[in-house]
Structure 1
Amino acid sequence: MGTREKLVEAAAELLDQGGDGAVTLRAVAHAVGVSHNTPYKHFVDRAALLAGVAEKDFSAFSAAFTGIERSAMTAIDKLKAALELFVTYGEAHPARYRLLFGDPDIASRGGQLEVVAVTTFSGFAALVAGAQAAGELPLIPAATMTSLIYAVLHGLLDLRAGGRLRSEKGLSNVLDGVLLMIELIRPNDVRQATMEE
């Protein structure tokens, strides 16, 4: 692993341990064991370093979605596996999750980061389209369906992160909530057949 990759890895670990405020170029340099000037040889500023973290994690999502797509699972189970991946990541790495899916600076950054973010979305959209082609989801434009599922998923994760996802409000588990939403939007004949199994 080269110095750049080590700096990105250290920044991700600092995000996990202390949130956004814990990531400084000096702290990352210290964590890697290099001089405080070394990060500037690889990143113009802190924002570029955080973009490096986001790019790495988006790429990992894309690779995982490719693996899911190539698996022998049914189309709907592929989609559920991808949703579980999002939830597991969001619950294990809340600060990184906010970086990828809730940071407006990251969303507007462009360049290679935008390429990998769009690739991630496209990989997930392909799983949604696969479920639609199998008759498991309504046949509306795949990008619209994907965005709807994204919105519910990210909304539930945000509620959980803010301590507002509670059983007395009807939902206490992110994955259960998003899977319930998937079940509710499935075509009636598919939903009926699932209930009869």
Structure 2
Amino acid sequence: MVKKLYKFFGYSLVFILALMYFVPKVSLYYFLETKLDQFAVVISSEEVLDKGFTLKIKHADLYYKSIQSANIQESNIKLFVLYNAVDFQNITLSSAAKFFVPLHVKNINIKYTMFDPLYIKADVEGEFGKANVRFSIFDKTLHLKLLPSELMLKSYVNTLKNMSKNEKGEYIYDKTIKL
């Protein structure tokens, strides 16, 4: 009986891994791109590479309402059913944002797990400092906690005025998003 149970779980694991490996990730990416178009978001000039269990995207230009908003040097998409993650590295924001925040973002790590299904979480690091972001899927609220860098504290005081400061020196920003 135990041997049959091990066999069942073994075959199930092999099936799930094979399914994840052979799923057409590039086609799913382009399908997602068409869905983003509904929100006036366009990704162009990217190089899309299927790496087996992950999807790597290089040199992507991000446009919002036909205005170039960012250039993303590299991103990795990991879809593992129970744990999903998207990692972005070396992001340069549009020069229009230079009045609000520093333009270079070192990395963004976005995570969604079935063990905490009501939240999408992100860790962000850049010239502005370090930020933790939590988005509630249920009530569509965004909670941002920023530990600002010296550059942010010195040159972007007006941006920080839109946030509340806690006793740890972190800046908090909460917003309800209407989708």
Q: TM-score, normalised by structure 2?
A: 0.30
Relative to total residues, which structure has the larger strand share, 1 or 2? 2
Relative to total residues, which structure has the larger helix share, 1 or 2? 1
Q: TM-score, normalised by structure 1?
A: 0.28
